[in-house]
Amino acid sequence: MEPDPVGFGYAGAAEAGLAGPARYLAHKYGAIVTCIELNPHRAPGAADLTRRVGLAQRVRIVRGDVMRVPVASDTMDAVISQEALLHVPDKRAALSEAYRVLKPGGRLAFTDWAEHRRLEVADARSMWRGIAAQSLQSFTTYPQMLREIGFRNVGIEDLTADWGRILEERFAMYRKLREENIRLGMPSGDDDFYHSYARLVALVQERTLGGGRFAAEK
């Protein structure tokens, strides 16, 4: 018997990317996965990689927008998003679509950046310019939004401490590579991204911003 489909909304105004996590779910757990990818150039690349590893029968790449998902209602057992809702301008619309496509009893699980405290205007602008952070939610407004949409059994896990350590390590590697490129006279990357990345590390370490894992049931 074929396993039931798993809806994989790797969200954002950039969604599934090249569908690596979707292929992992298909390979590791035998899931049938539908990816939603907004970028018209990435979707064919994701499909090509999936064919190359023999998973085209289990991983489907759909060109679409997570705020208007081209998937029938009540068809998915699960909807998953990994640190991509950060880039979605209307998170309520995306999560409402997740609710719509889930079967009764289906599960939603996602990770995202969220506010512990309201960002200052300058920081909000920096997060937008550098990492395209849109309509940030808080650890209070996210679960409230999920319940208003109709989800139940809403759960939250605060990952801020873990993400802070990981983020600091990644930024140190990025800074080292940037400095080496500057020394060699090579392109050093986008300045807005670099400065926003540095500020993001500080905001997480001071617990203004943080990371969370959210789960709910239809």
Reply yes or no on whether the pLDDT at 10 is more than 60: no
Question: At 145, is the pLDDT very low, low, confident or very high (cuts 50, 70, 90)?
Answer: very high
Residue-averaged pLDDT of the chain: 88
- What are residue 150's phi and psi, to 5 degrees? 130, -5
Q: What is the pTM of this model?
A: 0.86
pLDDT tens-digit series, residues 19-66: 888 898 888 888 888 988 888 888 888 888 899 999 988 898 888 899
| pLDDT score, position 16 | 74
- Burial (Cβ within 10 Å: 0-12, 13-18, ≥19) of residue 34: buried
Angle at 71 between CA 105 and CA 151, to 5 degrees: 30
| pLDDT score, position 196 | 92
Residue spans per domain, the chain: 5-116+132-160+208-217
| pLDDT score, position 12 | 24
DSSP 149-179: HT-EEEEEEE-HHHHHHHHHHHHHHHHHHHH
CATH number at 5-116+132-160+208-217: 3.40.50.150
Q: What is the 3-state secondary structure (H, E, C) of 46-95?
A: HHHHHHHCCCCCCEEEEECECCECCCCCCCEEEEEEECCHHHCCCHHHHH
